[in-house]
Amino acid sequence: MKLKQQGFSLIELITFIIIIGIIASGLLIGINQAQRYSGIPRVLPEASFLANARMQIILMNRAINGYAALSDPCTTTPSLAICTPLATYATANNFTVSTPTISGSNPKTITINVTGAGNAVINVSIYDYAKN
């Protein structure tokens, strides 16, 4: 008397796993290529980078000149040498970095807007702890 086979053989199971692996790897490669070349998410980090870099220049200037003389050294004449590469990069990549607004007394709030190819806004509040 012959017994009926139940389930899958080992060869069928291995073949199924290999086929699913090939399909999954093809999908992952396609998704990776789509993310890499989409271009849309790329400009947002660039705009944020420009705003953050300009803010860091202002904060470093504060460390040198003090809280009372808080200003943007990129808008004064002569400007710092570090401001030139940022301005060149912004122009070459269709970004506009606004003149930072500094308002308030303690804390002072600094706002920088980047517009153009991507948009970013950065706000920082700076306190003068020497007066407290």
Q: Which tens digit of pLDDT belongs to each residue from 115-126?
A: 887 788 888 888
On whether the pTM is more than 0.75, the answer is no
Average pLDDT for residues 73-91, to the nearest whole number? 83
Distance CA(127)–CA(110), nearest Å, equals 11
Binning pLDDT at 50, 70 and 90, where does residue 39 land? low
Mean pLDDT, the chain, rounded, equals 83
Average pLDDT for residues 8-19, to the nearest whole number? 90
Does the pLDDT value for residue 82 go beyond 60? yes
Would you give the end-to-end CA distance of the chain in angstroms? Answer: 97
CA atoms within 13 A on the CB side of 18: 6
* Percentage of the chain exceeding pLDDT 70: 89
Distance CA(35)–CA(27), nearest Å, equals 12
Domain range list for the chain: 41-131
Average pLDDT for residues 23-29, to the nearest whole number? 90
Q: Per-residue pLDDT tens for 95-122?
A: 888 888 888 888 888 899 998 877 888 8
Average pLDDT for residues 41-55, to the nearest whole number? 82
